[in-house]
Structures are given as C-alpha cells and as structure tokens.
C-alpha cells in the first residue's frame, strides 16, 4: 500500500498542533503560574496607569460618570457628553439634571434627576423621550426593550411607580402608601413588573415582593418573605427569572415559590445580582493571623449547581458588576473578571483609584483630574 507522504505529514502536523493547543489550554486553566505568564506576556492583560487613553476632567462628581454601550458618559453643567474608547468626544446631549441616577440595558440608557422631576430615555445618540414627573424621583429601571419603571414620592409621602413603554406612553401606575419601596425591576419580555417592599413598623421587618402583569396592570401575586429577612435588591435575569437578594441569602422566585440560590456565610464581603445570568459573592479567606485572600464565587442564576470561583491574593476594597463582567478594586490594582472566571484585564497604578465606571466593553478608571479608559 502506497502512502501519500505529504498527506501524512499534514495530518501529523494537525494532530500535533491540536494536542499542543489542548495541552496549553489545560495548563492555562489548571496552573496558576503558567496562566500568570500567559496573561502577562502573551495575552498582555496587564495595563498600567498613565499609559491609556484618557478624558481630562475637573474634579467631576463620581455619580456624574457612567459607562454604557462602549462609551464613557460625563454629565457636567447640563450637558451629557459621550467619549469613545480613545477618549475623544463623540457627541453631547442637553439635559436638565442636577443629581443624576443612571440605569441601562441593551441599547437603552435611562437618566433621571433624583429627588426632582426630570427623566430621559436615550438610545443611538438621541433622546428618545423626556418627561417631567409629578412627584420627586426615587429610583428608575429600564429593560432591554426600553420600558421604564420610575418610582416617585408625592407630597403625602406616598410612593408611585409609573411604567412606560419605549415611546414614553404610560402603561399604568401603582400606588404604595404603607411600605417603603426597596427596588423595582422589569422583565426583558415586558411581561412583569416586580416591586420589593419593606414594612418596619412592627417588631421585625416584613419584606414582600409584588409581581404585576404589565399587559393587564393586575397583581399576579405577592410573595411574603420570612419575618426578619430584609430584601436588598431584585432583578429579572436573562431567562426572566426573578432573583431576590436579602441581607443573608439569595433566592429565585417563581409563581410565589422560592428556591434558595446561596447563603452568605461568615466572611462574605460583597454580593450582587446585577449580572445578566449569574450572581456573585466575594468571601474573605484568612491565610494566617495577619493575611487574607479573597474568593469570588460566580453562580448561575439559572442552574444553581453551576459555580465558578476566582481567587485573588488580597481583599478588595470595592466590587461591582455589569452585564457579564465584574471588577475587584484593591486600591492601586483593579482586576476585571468575566462570568467564565477568566481574568480579562489587570489594571495597575501607583496612585489610589477614586472610582470605576463599568460598562459591557469599556471601563473608566476615575481620578481627580482624568478618566483612564480600558477596553475589553
């Protein structure tokens, strides 16, 4: 039998390359030293202060800086300016906002004036609509289709939640007079509005969640938490499951039934439900009497048995998330980690980071005189 030598060499080379790639991937995932070498010298994940595109600023309030849609937004003197990943101004919008609160999802950015009246929906470089609310705005949320739920407080201290479609039409209003509104969230299929409330008038705090049909403006059910369990936040994930964070644990709630996702054990420093399909918690782990590490657990909010961990050599000062990205801020170093548990960027500085604006493909590292831009 006659062999084609060229064909055999090609097949052998292909098998060798495949085995080499598989071996490299295995080492990268299993060996910290190997992964650190590749991250630094091959993937060049380390980035350094004063060596990145930046936006000069004059001590802008941290709450006036936001990352969204691959851009950094800076609100100053009623002008909302958008900067690209190279630090160049792309466009600006005239808005009347003194105390901004932001929320974003998909291609929509919602901007409102907290404790005042103005609310704006922004998309594709334009103000889609704007309104003056009748009461003072407490909080806002927007879903991926541009539907907004805005919570206001009137002169009688009653909370009113107004739900809008993406054209600014009022769908319905919900009035709450006896409890405090903790959080509000809309599902991405536009079907459900969830309201988290807390009543502290009794001996123990009583929290509950109202789930309302957006189409019919009718209450579907009220989920009553256990007495003493304080609701901190709620969010519909990418499968439109309602995730609820308490001060001691997290639950998934469906049809008035709760399933526990995770508890907060001793040493839990931070927890968050704002990722698209995951929740995270960061745990402090003592390595001796005077040293500690931290572990970030990334748990699927659709399958609670799926858990990925990322270990850091120090304890973070702040942690935050957006879309499918989280950061651990250690002061002069910031690690950006995706929900697969991969380190995406390792930012290092000789001076203390003042704040971080995190978007889905960009982050702004904020100092008194500038915003340094990291692209993912």
Number of domains within the chain: 1
Q: Is 216 exposed, middle or buried (0-12, 13-18, 19+ CB in 10 A)?
A: exposed
DSSP code for 28: H
- Number of Cβ within 10 Å of residue 14's Cβ equals 10
Whether 29 maps to a domain, the answer reads no
And the tokens for 146? 């541009």
pLDDT tier for residue 155 given thresholds of 50, 70 and 90: confident
For position 203, what pLDDT does the model report? 82
Instruction: Check residue 259 and give left, alpha or beta (phi > 0: left; psi -120 to 50: alpha).
Output: beta
Q: What are the backbone angles phi and psi of residue 32, rounded to the nearest 5°?
A: -65, -40
Residue 99 in domain: no
Q: Is 13 a residue whose pLDDT tops 90?
A: no
Contacts of residue 339, defined as CB under 8 A and 6 or more positions apart, other chains included, come to 275, 276, 277, 278, 298, 308, 324, 325, 326
Question: Which residue has better confidence, 11 or 34?
Answer: 11
15, pLDDT greater than 60? yes
56, 63 contact by CB (below 8 A): no
CA gyration radius for the chain? 24
- Looking at residue 110, its pLDDT comes to 98
Residue 181 lies in a domain: no
> Is 119 within a domain?
no
The two structure tokens encoding residue 339? 């929900």
Q: What is the per-residue pLDDT across 276-326, written as a single tens digit (0 to 9) for each?
A: 999 999 999 887 777 889 999 999 999 999 999 999 999 999 999 999 999
User: Do residues 124 and 108 lie in contact, with contact meaning Cβ atoms separated by under 8 Å?
Assistant: no
pLDDT of residue 356: 98
Asked if the structure places residue 273 within a domain, the reply is: yes
173 within a domain of the structure (yes/no): no
Q: What pLDDT is recorded for position 41?
A: 61
Q: Residue 5 domain-assigned?
A: no
Which tokens hold the place of 215? 């189409």
Contact yes or no for 176/219 (Cβ under 8 A) = no
Question: Percent of the chain having pLDDT more than 70?
Answer: 90
Percentage of the chain beyond pLDDT 90 is 77
Host domain of residue 54: 35-86+264-376
Distance in angstroms (rounded) separating the CA atoms of residues 144 and 316: 31
Domain assignment present for 212: no
């Amino acid at each position: 039998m006659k062999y084609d030598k060229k064909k055999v060499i090609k097949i052998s080379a292909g098998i060798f390359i495949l085995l080499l790639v598989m071996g490299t991937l295995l080492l990268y995932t299993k060996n910290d030293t190997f992964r650190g070498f590749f991250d630094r010298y091959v993937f060049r994940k380390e980035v350094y202060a004063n060596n990145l595109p930046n936006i000069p600023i004059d001590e802008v309030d941290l709450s006036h800086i936001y990352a969204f849609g691959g851009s950094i937004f800076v609100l100053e003197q009623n002008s909302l300016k958008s900067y690209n990943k190279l630090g160049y101004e792309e466009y600006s919008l005239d808005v009347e906002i003194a105390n901004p609160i932001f929320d974003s999802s998909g291609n929509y950015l919602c901007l409102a004036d907290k404790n005042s009246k103005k609310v704006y929906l922004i998309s594709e470089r334009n103000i889609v609509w704007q309104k003056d609310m009748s009461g003072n705005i407490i909080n806002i949320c927007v879903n991926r289709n541009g539907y907004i739920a805005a919570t206001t407080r009137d002169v009688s201290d009653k909370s009113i939640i107004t739900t809008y479609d993406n054209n600014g039409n009022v769908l319905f209003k919900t009035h709450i007079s006896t409890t405090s509104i903790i959080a509000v969230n809309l599902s991405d299929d536009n079907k459900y509005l969830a309201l988290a409330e807390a009543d502290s008038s009794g001996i123990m705090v009583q929290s509950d969640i109202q789930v309302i049909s957006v189409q019919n403006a009718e209450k579907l059910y009220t989920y009553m938490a256990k007495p003493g369990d304080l609701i901190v936040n709620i969010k519909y994930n990418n499968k439109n499951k309602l995730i609820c964070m308490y001060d001691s644990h997290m639950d998934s709630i469906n049809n008035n039934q709760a399933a526990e996702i995770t508890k907060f054990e001793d040493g839990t420093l931070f927890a968050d439900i704002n990722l698209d399909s995951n929740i995270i918690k960061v745990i402090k782990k003592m390595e001796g009497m005077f040293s500690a590490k931290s572990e970030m657990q990334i748990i699927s909010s659709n399958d609670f048995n799926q858990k990925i961990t990322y270990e850091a050599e120090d304890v973070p000062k702040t942690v935050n998330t957006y879309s499918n990205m989280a950061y651990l801020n250690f002061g002069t170093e910031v690690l950006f980690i995706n929900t697969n548990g991969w380190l995406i960027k390792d930012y290092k500085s000789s001076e203390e980071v003042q704040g971080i604006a995190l978007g889905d493909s960009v982050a702004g590292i904020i100092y008194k005189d500038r915003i340094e831009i990291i692209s993912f």
